[in-house]
Amino acid sequence: MPPGQPLKQKKPPACDRCKAKRVVCYPELLGGSCPRCVENGAECTTTPVTRRPRGTVPQEERAPRRRKRSPSHQLQSPSGADTPQDSSPEAIPVGRPLQSTVAPIQDLAPDLVQHLLDCFEQLPQRTHPDLPLAALRNSLQSVGWRTSLLPLSSQAFAYALYACAALVALHPSILGAGLLPTFEELDRAPVETTDWASFGRRREPACRALREEAFRIAQEANVVANYTDTTNAACCFLLDYLDNCRPFVGKLSRPYAVALLAHARTLAEVSEEPSFAHAMGWSAFLAIQALKSTHQGAPIIFTPGDQRMLYGADLLTLDQMTIKLRDASTAHDLQVVIHCVRPYTSQVIEVARKIDDTITGAFPRRRPLDEKAIIDCVAAIKRLDVVHYLILERIAILHPVPTPSIFPSRQPDGVAPGPSFFQSVMQAIKLVASMCYTTLVLSLHQEVQRRAREEESSANAWLGGERERERIARLRRQVTDMAREAARECAEGLDDLPGLAYGLHFSSYPEAWVQILLDEVAETGQLSLENRKALSSILLVLKLSGFSYVDSSVDSTIASIEAHLQLPSSNNLLQAPAPFPPTFLDPNALAIGDPQLNLMLTDGLDVDGWSPLSSLSAPVVPLADGLQAWDY
């Protein structure tokens, strides 16, 4: 530097606020507030940092220093020996995301961990075919129920499981101070008068903390990228549920679901042929994923090749399923219904793809509504409804009187399945069958109605001919009537859930079903007995859902239903057609001597104009191309 030139003044250190937010700070040389703090009206403080002298650190000392930065996630040594300092719960701080609003989580108490593992058995997520639940329980037991002593990927899976189970847990660490009833006491409590939402408000802070911890550890463990670990695949499955359950529904992007299918695809390539139960579980899971995508207008996240890889390709056709389910000699055989689950859900996926490719997908949404596409989708749904109807009829024979339980007891390990187990199996099959069919109808109905609203605006006026306009309007009316019947059927299915947690599967749909029923009330000016019963069933499930989560949109829906239920019901309206005749397929009905029932049982003909292909009162009109349309 030339002599006489002043030395360049050193830049002061960044203030505490800019340092915490990791943004560039422009500190004032004279000690004033930096521009960012002035802009945000915050106090600008700077904590002096004493710099240590520079020096070289030996290579053998660098690795231990890095490990000490995150002692909560230090992997267990191969010998299994941990020093008292490393294994002490008090010495295991857990970092939080920068935007976290809750206190850091220390190691969960052993009794809380065991309680959450038991509560997870009540959730429908436990039926996923590739969840290593037994391995996780054994690993936790081997380390004294200390989650922080597990490998990082197992920690991520464990906390995702804890966050899901906390939605139904009854532990003081989850609910906090207050009444702590048992599951048996809640199962006997009056459903209509119990304040279920109080439990959701009490558990919200703990559920939020566990959810944030699950996502934080999953990001640190990089569970999305490691495709060779079954634990990571299971973690992605639970994280996808946590990322899309209430109050987080409505997201079009599902990164964890995409990662799960990538995991499953990779693992299936090196695995043996799936067992029957494994294949049935995957077929039901993929059907639900396809329905979610179609309902949201998002692409289906798996390919037909993935389906064949995960659950095989040797499936019954719709006609073959219809023949098997109409066989009166096997009316009381549960195995017939179970063997139809996989081909039924496969057909559901096929119909969902058809709706996505021609009506609800990103490309068809940018094109005018195709009349033939609507006819094809309606015909496909109606053909599926035949099998759906027969499955429900079989279950009505095997499980004639619904005996719902809000908190069903867990089947003990090593005990032979009893009647309650088979009841839960039939309830689960009924739920899957009803949800698949009704969600397909709902997706089609909502897109058709959205197109109608767009065409009413001047910018999207109808450009076709008058006859085509009338045909489209007639098809819309047909889809609307299908949606109203589906809404009543969905509500009927809610009366026989395997447990409270299964109602969360309908978490993104009750408002849509309620709106469909209330639109019918507004159109007719009266509240029919069928709609009153359906609204009451949905209202009950919405109130019960307050046991698990807090969502302001649910409160407004509940208020709207209660306001309409105050209306006097109409007794002079014709009752809606029953979903199925209660004696169809029952061999004992033949002793009654009813010729119509005998004819229906032997030849599959209609009874008094009723057809399983349609609940509409008008006749079925065959079209030239072999499809079916319904005239009004």
Tell me if 358 sits within 8 A of 377, measured CB to CB.
yes
How much is the pLDDT for 84?
33
pLDDT of 77 above 80: no
How much is the pLDDT for 18?
86
Fill in the DSSP letter of residue 611.
Answer: B
Per-residue model confidence as pLDDT tens digits over 560-577: 998 888 865 544 333 333
- Across the range 22-48, mean pLDDT stands at 81
Tell me if 199 sits within 8 A of 547, measured CB to CB.
yes
Task: Specify the residue for token string 């500190």.
Answer: 27
Alpha helices by DSSP H, listed for 525-622, are: 529-545, 552-565, 595-603
Cα 355 to Cα 431, 448, 498, 502, 523: the distances in Å are: 22, 11, 30, 26, 27
> What residue type is assigned to position 76 of the chain?
Q
Fill in the DSSP letter of residue 60.
Answer: H
% of the chain surpassing 70 pLDDT: 73
* CA 73 – CA 68 distance, rounded (Å): 10
List the structure tokens of 87.
């294994």
* CA 261 – CA 100 distance, rounded (Å): 29
- How many C-beta neighbours within 10 Å does residue 466 have? 8
Pairing of strands 628-630, 620-622: antiparallel
pLDDT of 483 above 70: yes
- How many C-beta neighbours within 10 Å does residue 170 have? 19
Strands, E assignment, 457-550 = 527-528
- Across the range 128-145, mean pLDDT stands at 93
User: What φ, ψ does residue 56 adopt, rounded to 5°?
Assistant: -95, 140
> What's the first-to-final CA gap in the chain, in angstroms?
95
pLDDT of 509 above 60: yes
Tell me if 263 sits within 8 A of 269, measured CB to CB.
no
What mean pLDDT, rounded, does the chain reach?
Answer: 77
Per-residue model confidence as pLDDT tens digits over 217-256: 999 999 998 777 789 999 999 999 998 887 666 566 789 9
Task: Specify the residue for token string 């639109």.
Answer: 519
pLDDT of 626 above 50: no
Tell me if 164 sits within 8 A of 241, measured CB to CB.
yes
Taking Cα atoms as reference points, which of 528, 457, 537, 454 lies closest to residue 489? Answer: 537
- Across the range 202-229, mean pLDDT stands at 90
Exposure string over 377-413, b if 16+ CB within 10 A, otherwise e: bbbbbbbbbbbbbbbbbbbbbbbeeeebbbbbeeeee
Beta bridge partners of 575: none
Q: Is 450 exposed, middle or buried (0-12, 13-18, 19+ CB in 10 A)?
A: middle
Residue that wins the pLDDT comparison between 285 and 555:
285
Per-residue model confidence as pLDDT tens digits over 85-124: 333 333 323 333 334 444 446 689 999 999 999 999 888 8
- Across the range 509-528, mean pLDDT stands at 89
- How many C-beta neighbours within 10 Å does residue 86 have? 17
pTM summary value: 0.72
Query: Is residue 569 helix, strand or coil?
Result: strand
- Across the range 548-568, mean pLDDT stands at 84
* CA 569 – CA 528 distance, rounded (Å): 6
Query: Is residue 586 helix, strand or coil?
Result: coil
Instruction: Give the max Cα distance, the chain.
Output: 120
Contacts of 615 (CB under 8 A, 6+ apart): 485, 576, 577, 579
Residue that wins the pLDDT comparison between 404 and 159:
159
- Across the range 311-336, mean pLDDT stands at 90
pLDDT of 378 above 60: yes
* CA 380 – CA 628 distance, rounded (Å): 10
Contacts of 115 (CB under 8 A, 6+ apart): 169, 170, 171
Tell me if 410 sits within 8 A of 187, measured CB to CB.
no
Exposure string over 499-538, b if 16+ CB within 10 A, otherwise e: bbbbbbbbbbbbbbbbebbbebbeeeeebbebbbbbbebb
* CA 630 – CA 282 distance, rounded (Å): 35
**How does residue 191 score in pLDDT terms, banded at 50, 70 and 90?**
confident
pLDDT of 504 above 90: no
- Across the range 405-409, mean pLDDT stands at 72
